[in-house]
């Protein structure tokens, strides 16, 4: 079972539909308990999209597809941020760093996402926590690349 299939199975109360008719520009859409995922995406992209749609289901309210208001934009950004944090976790980054998975390709493979998604997740962590921060006994330095060190107490 790949990451996408496992994620689908984790929410049996939701109806996940792989849609053949979605516009190419739209990756996913949540409507009440139905989540539509564009069939024309790779398995990794479907996994990323489903994470975001689950975050929409969990955190957003109403039709925010147009992102026409500031409130809609905030909800969209919240859902994307939560999805990235669920997918490319700080604990997972620690694991990668200390197990020799330093390349973008290795990290993306570990999480089962695209390299682009890993880069977006790192930018999300920079925006949320800053360039250098402490998490779970580790220092993260995200100024140029990912550098992680154990906190010395």
Question: pLDDT tens digits for 99-110?
Answer: 999 899 999 999
Confidence of residue 77 (pLDDT cuts 50, 70, 90): confident
Q: Which CATH architecture has domain 1-87?
A: Orthogonal Bundle (1.10)
Q: Residue 36 has which token pair?
A: 């539509």
Q: Which of 1, 8, 4 is CA-nearest to residue 113?
A: 4
Q: How far apart are CA 79 and CA 55, in angstroms?
A: 5
Q: Kindly tell me if the per-residue pLDDT of 64 is higher than 70.
A: no
| % residues pLDDT > 70 (the chain) | 93
Q: How far apart are CA 49 and CA 55, in angstroms?
A: 10
Mean pLDDT of the 100-123 span = 96
Contact 48, 20 (CB under 8 A): no
Q: How far apart are CA 125 and CA 33, in angstroms?
A: 29
User: So where are the chain's domains?
Assistant: 1-87, 90-153
Task: Note the pTM of the prediction, 2 decimals.
Answer: 0.90
Contact 10, 53 (CB under 8 A): no
Residue for token pair 């999480």:
111
* Phi, psi for residue 82 in degrees, rounded to 5: -60, -40
Q: Return the minimum-mean-pLDDT range out of 58-67, 87-96, 128-137, 140-149.
A: 58-67
Q: Residue 103 has which token pair?
A: 């390349």
Q: How far apart are CA 38 and CA 49, in angstroms?
A: 9
Q: How far apart are CA 146 and CA 122, in angstroms?
A: 8
Q: Looking at the DSSP assignment, which residues form a beta bridge with residue 147?
A: 141
């Amino acid at each position: 079972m790949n990451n996408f299939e496992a994620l689908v199975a984790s929410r049996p109360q939701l109806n996940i539909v792989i849609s053949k008719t979605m516009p190419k520009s739209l990756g996913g859409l949540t409507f009440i308990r139905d989540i539509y995922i564009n069939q024309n995406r790779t398995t990794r992209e479907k996994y990323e999209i489903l994470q975001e749609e689950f975050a929409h289901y969990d955190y957003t309210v109403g039709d925010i597809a147009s992102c026409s208001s500031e409130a809609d934009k905030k909800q969209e950004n919240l859902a994307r941020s939560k999805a990235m944090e669920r997918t490319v976790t700080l604990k997972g980054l620690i694991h990668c760093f200390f197990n020799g998975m330093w390349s973008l390709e290795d990290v993306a493979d570990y999480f089962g996402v695209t390299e682009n998604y890993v880069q977006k997740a790192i930018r999300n962590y920079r925006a949320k926590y800053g360039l250098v921060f402490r998490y779970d006994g580790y220092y993260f330095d995200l100024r140029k690349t990912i550098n992680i060190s154990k906190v010395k107490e």
